[in-house]
Amino acid sequence: MPNLQADTPVEFIKGIGPKRAEWLKSELGIYEAGDLLEHLPFRYEDRTDFVEVKDITSDAIAIQIKGVITEVKQIPTKRGSRLVATFKDHSGTTLDLVWFKGAKWMAAQIPALQKVVVFGKPAKYQNRWNLPHPEIELEDSFERRNGKGLQPVYRTTEKLTNRGLSSAGIAKVIRLLLASPELVLAESIPGFLLKELQMPHKADAMLMVHAPQNHAEAESARNRLKFEELLLLQLKLLMQKREQTQDMPGVRFEQVGALFNDFYSNHLGFELTGAQKRVMREIRSDLNTGWHMNRLLQGDVGSGKTMVALLTALLAIDNGYQACVMAPTEILANQHLESFREALGALPIRIELLTGSVKKAARRPILEGLKSGEVNLLIGTHALIEPGVEFQRLGLAVIDEQHRFGVAQRSKLWAKASPAPHVLVMTATPIPRTLAMTAYGDLDVSVIDEMPPGRKSIKTVHRTDGARLSVFQFIEDEIARERQVYVVYPLIEESSSMDYKDLMDGYESLSRRFPLPEFRIGIVHGRMKAEDKDIEMERFSNGTSQILVATTVIEVGVNVPNASVMVIESSERFGLAQLHQLRGRVGRGAEQSYCVLMTGDELSKEARRRLETMCRTNDGFELAEVDMELRGPGDLMGTQQSGIPDLKMADLLRDREILTTARYIGNRILEEDADLSKPEHAILNQALIRARKGRTNWSRIS
């Protein structure tokens, strides 16, 4: 008899067969015995205790009684009929079993006058207990299959249920499989780890999770299985990370040179925050190891990431290398250019800008300067990674606002120099820690978790359209105090005419309320030419216009410290991350800033939760956690290239602790044995090989 193993196709499992195997694949993605076993129960029904009819209490969630069905009656109703069966427990007390649907079919199924076990949630009708739509099983079969105790409940689908694979059907197949003497389940976790973490062996864990004695046992088995899944994932990510860093040579920035020192002592103009200093130390140590840096810098909007980027660029230039900064939009690239030029002042550094709208004639000298090495710092958009752009000695690439950049684009950067340039990815969208450890598992993570001093936290309020007049008054008051105001409209789809209409209507009504010549209102949106956008942005940025009406083009990075009010129209249509990004446009100066979230009166529960969260906290990480709860990890990262692995058992939302342990253990093991070649790690190595060969979906991991 051949062995049954985790990779045995499900059609060869007893009780499944080719037809049902097809359905298991298409409905639940279960292809192999291992997938079936990893289809863990999502809850358990406690079938430990039997009650008697007289003991039923109104707080019972579900009850189980032994007895006999003595009579079955179909009672006609307006819409068909109801089925009522009289059930008698061993003391002779009766209870009605009731079916409101499928009465006729059910009538034929009822095993009258035989000993049965019934199970269901009791309900009271006319002062008498009954059990609507109960489960019924012959006592005989119940005993034979050992139905006492915790019964697993499995996720299934209607199609599967109709083909005999209801939760109970799946339970039966799994039970048979686990009882099969041919089943051989390879262990994936070495004995020393199981011992250290006090975890059961895999085969035991499978039994404990599918047929537990009690909830504690089920829980510990489940945690063990999740740990295995997360440990293998972390090992894979960490090994990949080592390949990209430890195993990938990087240029050495050995010295802190004249430019850095001059800038730091004469031009910086403020003291770095503790967090900025810490991050600079992390980066500097990366840059001097001789290996390639691949670091993610997370920090809330306004936390001073750009300064970190600039200082890092100076390190590169001081060491004779070029640096580039890649931004997701032209507006942002322009802003970076300006703020870098301003900050660097008279330092002998040649900075250039390269975006899609830099015309051929202007482009040539830039490209030549890059090739000859005369351009030290290049700022731009995607245009930077196009094939024609060649550097003499690119040593550092900074990618701002990572969530707009794909993994593929990141790797195009590596090809721009050999050895590959160090990569610093900056994101203002805080990512929950669990996600950072998986979606960006191949990056080192630095966090700026401290705001520059003197920042007041932004006051956020929610107002409905009914309060518009008072919001306008507030805007007027702020303008009277020489502050500036953003009014942002959602533009969910670039092409949506409805959204443009809202934007233009809003612009017009603001223009009536805030007329020339006293007030000047600017507008920017995606349908404008880049030059016109720049003109409007410049007018706002130099204070010529007091109100800027905009779509989300201003979402990312724009920096006008004098702006103190952010009004977000139809804010219920924005996600939390976007709302937070938008809010981050204000609160950049020393003034108290405000964010006004406008909505209609009717709000979905989720929208309400988003708005409440925004009003409650300014902490980007806290918002990110709520966002992940509301949307799930996949959506949070954007569908385009989510980078979230499909986890079968573990859950990034709930299993943070297990994930942290898995990452810690994974790191510890690789420190000691980078390629898992030591005999005590052989089991892990084999498990990883099996996982790679199998259909575990790791393909989307960066």
Which among ligand ADP, Mg ion, none contacts residue 588 (Cβ within 5 to 8 A by kind)?
ligand ADP
Q: Which is nearer to ligand ADP, 299 or 506 (CB)?
A: 299
Q: How far is the CB of 346 from Mg ion (least distance, A)?
A: 24
CA dist 350 and 370 (Å) reads 10
- Residue 457 in contact with residue 314, Cβ under 8 Å? no
- Residue 89 in contact with residue 103, Cβ under 8 Å? no
Which among ligand ADP, Mg ion, none contacts residue 575 (Cβ within 5 to 8 A by kind)?
none
- Residue 434 in contact with residue 656, Cβ under 8 Å? yes
Rule CB under 5 A: say whether 557 interacts with Mg ion.
Answer: yes
Part in contact with Mg ion (CB under 5 A); list of ranges 17-25, 112-120, 518-526, 551-559: 551-559
Q: Find all residues with CB under 8 Å of 219, minimum gap 6, and list them.
A: none
> In 10 A of CB 420, how many CB atoms?
22
Which among Mg ion, ligand ADP, none contacts residue 647 (Cβ within 5 to 8 A by kind)?
none
CA distances from 23 to 102, 152, 159 (A): 25, 21, 8
Q: Which is nearer to ligand ADP, 24 or 614 (CB)?
A: 614
Q: What is the DSSP string of 16-78?
A: THHHHHHHHHHHH---BHHHHHTS--SEEEEES----GGG--TT-S-EEEEEEEEEEEEEEET
Q: How far is the CB of 439 from ligand ADP (least distance, A)?
A: 21
Q: Contact residues for ligand ADP (CB under 6 A)? A: 270, 272-273, 276, 299, 301-307, 428, 452, 559, 588
CA dist 548 and 83 (Å) reads 68
Q: Which is nearer to ligand ADP, 325 or 596 (CB)?
A: 325
CA dist 276 and 112 (Å) reads 76
Q: Which is nearer to ligand ADP, 288 or 562 (CB)?
A: 562
Nearest to Mg ion by Cβ — which residue? Answer: 557
CA dist 132 and 124 (Å) reads 10
Q: What is the DSSP string of 542-556?
A: TTS-SEEEE-GGGTT
Q: Which is nearer to ligand ADP, 228 or 401 (CB)?
A: 401
Q: Regarding beta strands 115-120 and 135-138, do their DSSP bridges make them parallel or antiparallel, or are they unpaired?
A: antiparallel
Q: Which is nearer to ligand ADP, 63 or 279 (CB)?
A: 279
Which among Mg ion, ligand ADP, none contacts residue 272 (Cβ within 5 to 8 A by kind)?
ligand ADP
Strands (E), 317-474: 322-326, 351-354, 377-380, 394-400, 422-427, 444-448, 459-464
Part in contact with Mg ion (CB under 5 A); list of ranges 199-207, 283-291, 466-474, 553-561: 553-561
Q: How far is the CB of 310 from ligand ADP (least distance, A)?
A: 8
Helix 330-344 crosses helix 305-318 at what angle (to 10 degrees)? Answer: 60
Which among Mg ion, ligand ADP, none contacts residue 403 (Cβ within 5 to 8 A by kind)?
none
Q: Which is nearer to ligand ADP, 6 or 428 (CB)?
A: 428
Which among Mg ion, ligand ADP, none contacts residue 559 (Cβ within 5 to 8 A by kind)?
ligand ADP
Q: Residue count at the site for Mg ion (CB under 5 A)?
A: 2
Which among Mg ion, ligand ADP, none contacts residue 411 (Cβ within 5 to 8 A by kind)?
none
Q: How far is the CB of 609 from ligand ADP (least distance, A)?
A: 26
Mask of contacts with Mg ion, 133-172, x by CB under 5 A?
----------------------------------------
Which among ligand ADP, Mg ion, none contacts residue 307 (Cβ within 5 to 8 A by kind)?
ligand ADP
Q: Which is nearer to ligand ADP, 301 or 431 (CB)?
A: 301
Q: Which is nearer to ligand ADP, 97 or 431 (CB)?
A: 431
Q: How far is the CB of 271 from ligand ADP (least distance, A)?
A: 6
Q: Which is nearer to Mg ion, 303 or 570 (CB)?
A: 303
Q: How far is the CB of 305 from Mg ion (least distance, A)?
A: 5
Part in contact with Mg ion (CB under 5 A); list of ranges 99-107, 382-390, 409-417, 550-558: 550-558
Q: Which is nearer to Mg ion, 63 or 458 (CB)?
A: 458
Which among Mg ion, ligand ADP, none contacts residue 336 (Cβ within 5 to 8 A by kind)?
none
Which among Mg ion, ligand ADP, none contacts residue 686 (Cβ within 5 to 8 A by kind)?
none
The span from the first CA to the last CA of the chain, in angstroms, equals: 42
Q: How far is the CB of 232 from ligand ADP (least distance, A)?
A: 35
H or E segment at 82? strand 80-89
Q: Which is nearer to ligand ADP, 310 or 488 (CB)?
A: 310
H or E segment at 152? strand 149-153
> In 10 A of CB 509, how many CB atoms?
12
Give the SS3 label for residue 538. helix
Instruction: Order across the sheet with 294-299: list the strands.
Output: 351-354, 377-380, 322-326, 394-400, 422-427, 294-299, 444-448
CA dist 670 and 678 (Å) reads 11
Q: Which is nearer to Mg ion, 306 or 319 (CB)?
A: 306
Q: How far is the CB of 428 from Mg ion (least distance, A)?
A: 6
- Per DSSP, 687 falls in state H
Kindly give the residue spans of alpha helices, DSSP state H, lying in 253-304: 258-262, 274-287
Q: Find all residues with CB under 8 Å of 679, minimum gap 6, and list them.
A: none
Question: Half-sphere exposure of 314 toward its Cβ, with a 13 Å CA cutoff?
Answer: 24
Q: Which is nearer to Mg ion, 295 or 663 (CB)?
A: 295
Which among ligand ADP, Mg ion, none contacts residue 20 (Cβ within 5 to 8 A by kind)?
none
Q: Which is nearer to ligand ADP, 307 or 688 (CB)?
A: 307
Q: How far is the CB of 384 from Mg ion (least distance, A)?
A: 17
Torsion of CA 673, 674, 675, 681, to 10 degrees: 30
Q: How far is the CB of 600 from ligand ADP (least distance, A)?
A: 31
Mask of contacts with Mg ion, 293-332, x by CB under 5 A?
-------------x--------------------------
- Residue 452 in contact with residue 273, Cβ under 8 Å? yes
Q: How far is the CB of 448 from Mg ion (least distance, A)?
A: 11
Q: How far is the CB of 588 from Mg ion (least distance, A)?
A: 10
Which among ligand ADP, Mg ion, none contacts residue 303 (Cβ within 5 to 8 A by kind)?
ligand ADP
CA dist 335 and 322 (Å) reads 20
Give the SS3 label for residue 454. coil
The encoded tokens of residue 31 equal 């292809």
Q: How far is the CB of 426 from Mg ion (least distance, A)?
A: 7
Which among ligand ADP, Mg ion, none contacts residue 299 (Cβ within 5 to 8 A by kind)?
ligand ADP
Q: Find all residues with CB under 8 Å of 202, minimum gap 6, and list them.
A: 185, 186, 187, 188, 189, 224, 225, 228
The encoded tokens of residue 421 equal 């340039």
Helices and strands: H and E segment counts in the chain:
24, 22
Q: How far is the CB of 336 from Mg ion (least distance, A)?
A: 8
Q: How far is the CB of 403 from Mg ion (least distance, A)?
A: 13
Q: How far is the CB of 396 from ligand ADP (least distance, A)?
A: 17
Q: Which is nearer to ligand ADP, 273 or 546 (CB)?
A: 273
Rule CB under 5 A: say whether 620 interacts with Mg ion.
Answer: no
CA dist 358 and 334 (Å) reads 12
Which among ligand ADP, Mg ion, none contacts residue 276 (Cβ within 5 to 8 A by kind)?
ligand ADP
Q: Which residues here bind Mg ion, judged by CB under 5 A?
A: 306, 557
